[in-house]
Structure 1
Amino acid sequence: MRLSVLDQSVACVGRPQDESIRHTVALAEHCERLGYERFWLSEHHSLPAIVGTAPEVLMAAIAVRTARIRIGSAGVMLPHYSPFKVAEQFRVLDALAPGRIDLGVGRAPGSDHRTARLLNPDPRSANHFPQQVRELQAWVSGEEMPEGHPGRGIQALPRAVTAPQLWMLGSSSYGAQLAAHYGLPYSFAHFISDGEGCAEALELYRQLFKPGLVQRPEANVCVWALAADTEEEAWRLFASRERARVDRQTGRFGPLLPPEQAVRPYDAAEEAFRQGLRARSFVGTGEQVVQRLRALAEALEIEEVVVITWTWDPLAQRRSYELLAGAAGLS
C-alpha cells in the first residue's frame, strides 16, 4: 500500500489564516522526507474552515522546496476556468518540477452558489465539464484540437519532455464514469461521503474503463485519518474535527477549534451523527490506523490511499503523518 497526502490549509481559531498556508508548505517538505508518494492540495472559496483557495500557487511554492514527491491539485474546479489557461499554469508547474505534477480536476464548485457565480457568471458552466476535460487533456498532452475547433493550432506552453498527469476526482458515480470514458486515473473522495458509494463508484470505473491517457484502470481513495502516540490522545485530538463535522450538519462553518474548546452538548440527532462518525473514522495509534487503511485498500482492490488530517495543532498533524509512515514502512 502506497500512502499520499491531501492538505486543505485549514483555518484555526486563534491563528492568522496566512499561517495555515505556510504550515501546508512545511507539511509538504515534511511528508517528502517521510516517503509519501504525493502531496495534493484542494480548492475552496469563501469557506471559513478552509483557506486553501489557489492550489496552483501553493504547488509552485512546494515545487521549489521539494525534489521527489509528486505535487498535485485535488483539485482544480474546472467549470470556473478556461481549460487553456489551466493547461498553461500546469505546464509551468511541470517546468518547475518535471515529471512530478498531478492535475486533478473536479466538477463541484468548492464553494456556495453565490461565490461560484463570482468565479464564473455562467450558471450552466458545469454542464460543459466533459468537454472542458477533453480540451484540457489535449492541451496538457500536446494533442492537436480537431478540425473546426477554435483552439486548433493553439499550443499551451511551455512544452517539455514531461507533462502533468491528469486525474479525475469525484465523490459519486458521475466522475467514475467520466474517468472511465476518457481513460483517466480516478480518485474517490472517501472523506466527503464517509465512504458511501465508494465501492460502487470504483466498480463502475473498472467496468466501463476504456484505455486512454492510461492503459488500465488506476485509482486511489482519499480518506480522513488521524494517528497519535496513544489511542486516547488520538481521540482527544479528534474532538476538533468531530465538532466541525457535527456543526456542518446544521450549516455552521468556522475555523477549527482546539480540542479543549471543541466539546459542547449535542442534541439527540447530533449525538447520533457523532456516534456514527466515530464508528466510521480512522483514528488511533499509527499501527491501528494503518491496519484499517490496509483493510480498506484490500477491500477496494486499490494500491494507494491518500490521507487527509485535520488538527488544530500543526505539530500534531505532522506527528500523525510520521506515525502512519512508520507503521506503513515508508522509506
Structure 2
Amino acid sequence: MSRPFRLSVLDQSIAVSGRPQDQSIRNTVSLARHCEALGYERFWVSEHHNHPTIVGTAPEIVMAAIAATTERIRIGSAGIMLPHYSPFKVAEVFRVLEALAPGRIDMGLGRAPGSDGRTAFALNPAANERPEHFPADVRDLIAWVNNQPLVERHPFGSVKAFPQSPTSPEVWILGSSDYGAQVAALFGLPYCYAWFFSDGAGGERAIDLYKRSYRPSARHPEPHSALCVWALAAETTEKAQYHFTSRALSRINRDKNILGPLLPPDEAGKAPLADFERAKMEQFRKDSFVGTGPEVAARITELKERVGVDEMAVVTWTHDEQVRRDSYTELAKAYGFAP
C-alpha cells in the first residue's frame, strides 16, 4: 500500500498491572525511537495528573528525553494543559526544547484540566480563573515562543523568552469540542481532534467549524487538521481482539469512574460484568480500529477521507509492551513506510 498521508503516534505512558509505573515512562522514550525507525511523522506525549491509569504527568520532560535519543521524528505535547501554567514559563520551556531539537518540536496546547477539580487546584490555586483566559494566553504564548512583540501596552511587553534561535516550535491546538476548533481557527493554527476520547462524537462538526472559520496566519496560510484515534494491529484479527480486551474493560471501568492499571487480557476477560456492560464491550470491539495491519489501515484511511483531515495519529494501549510495539510495526508495514 502506498503511503497516503502522514501518520503519527500519541503515547500516554499507561500503567499496567505487574509493572512498576516508572517503567512506563522509559517505555515511552523507547517507543519513540522505535516509531522513528518505522517512519512515523510525529511522536506526541500527553499530560494527565492524579490518574492511576495514565502516569504521563510531565510531557515536556519526556520530550527532552526523546529529543536526546532521536534524530528525525517530530516531538510534541498532546498537550500542555495551559490553564495550569504561566504562558511565559511554557514559552521558556519550549524555547529550550527547540534548542535541543531544532525544527522538530510541536507545542500542542489544551484547555481541559487533564485531571479533577481538586487536582487542578493543587497544580495551580488560580486554575479556576485561567480557562476563561485561554485565548489570551494562547495569543501571548505564540508571541513569546516566536520572539514576536506582544499586543500593544501589554504589561509584560518587554519580557523575552530565551533562548532565541532561528527556528520555533509549531503550535497546535488540541481538543474534543467546538471550543478548541474555534481557538485554532482564530489564531490560524493547526488543530487536532481527540477522536478516541469521545468515540468521534462531535468530531466532524468540530473539524468543519475549524475549516469554515479559519483565519490564515503567516506560518499556516491554510487550515491544517488532524484526528487522533485509538487502534491496535496484530498479525491476526483474533490476536488483536484478544489483546484489546484489556483496553475494552478499562474503558467500561472508566465510565464507572474506576481507574487503575491495565489488566492482562485473560484477567480482563474474566471480569464480572452486567449484561449491558458485556453488550457495550462487544460494541467497543465492533467500533474500534482493531485487527490486522491492513484492516486497521483501511479504517484509518476511510475516516481520514470521510472527515477530510490532513493527518492522522494513533494511540495504543496493551498490557504487553511488545504487543504494543508490534502494533505500530504492523500498521507501518500496512502503509508501506516501514523500512
TM-score by length of 1: 0.98
Letter in 2 for 1:312: H
Q: Which residue of 2 aligns with 1:149?
A: 154
**Residue 137 of structure 2 is aligned to residue 132 of structure 1:** yes
Task: Look up the match of 2:319.
Answer: 312
Partner of 1:59: 63
Say if 2:263 is the partner of 1:257: yes
2-structure distance, mates of 1:117, 1:103: 23
Q: State the Cα deviation string for residues 287-329 of structure 1 (Å, max 9, x = none).
A: 1000111111110112311000000111000000000000011
Within the candidate set 163, 168, 172, 1:163 is matched to: 168
Q: CA deviation at 1:275?
A: 2.7
Q: Alignment RMSD, CA only?
A: 0.9
Equivalent residue runs for 1:1-331 within 5 Å: 1-122=5-126, 123-212=128-217, 213-263=219-269, 264-331=271-338
Query: In the aligned structure 2, how far is the partner of 1:262 from the partner of 1:272?
Result: 15
Q: Distance in 2 between matches of 1:124 and 1:250?
A: 29
Q: CA deviation at 1:146?
A: 2.3
Distance 2:33 2:174 in 1: 24
Any unmatched runs of 5+ in structure 1?
Answer: none
Hey, what's the Cα distance between the residues in 1 that align with 2:286 and 2:266? 21
2-structure distance, mates of 1:150, 1:262: 55
Letter in 2 for 1:147: E
Q: 1:302 and 1:184 mapped to 2: Cα distance?
A: 14
C-alpha displacement of 1:126 = 1.1
One-letter amino acid of the counterpart of residue 188, structure 1: Y
1:42-91 deviation digits (Å, cap 9, x = unpaired): 00001000110000000000001000000000000000000000000001
In structure 1, C-alpha distance between the alignment counterparts of 2:89 and 2:61, rounded to whole Å: 14
1:72 and 1:126 mapped to 2: Cα distance? 22
Distance 2:107 2:166 in 1: 17
Q: Distance in 2 between matches of 1:258 and 1:114?
A: 31
How many angstroms apart in 1 are the aligned matches of 2:140 and 2:310? 29
Q: Distance in 1 between matches of 2:310 and 2:191?
A: 13
SS in 2 for 1:310: coil
Alpha-carbon deviation of 1:194?
A: 0.7
Q: 1:234-293 CA distances to partner (integer Å, 9 max, x unpaired)?
A: 000001100100001111000001111112232133233223322210000001000111
Kept after mapping to 1: 8 A contact 2:6/2:41: yes
Residue 130 of structure 1 deviates from its aligned partner by 0.8
- When residues 65 and 193 of structure 1 are mapped into structure 2, their CA distance, relative to the original with a 3 A threshold, is same
Q: How far, CA to CA, are the matches of 1:176 and 1:303 in structure 2?
A: 15
Structure 1 residue matching 2:186: 3-state secondary structure: helix
Q: Which runs of 5+ in 2 are unaligned?
A: none
Query: Could you tell me the percent identity over the aligned residues?
Result: 56
The alignment covers a number of residue pairs equal to 331
Runs of 4+ deviating beyond 4 Å: none
8 Å Cα contact 2:245/2:268 also seen in 1: yes
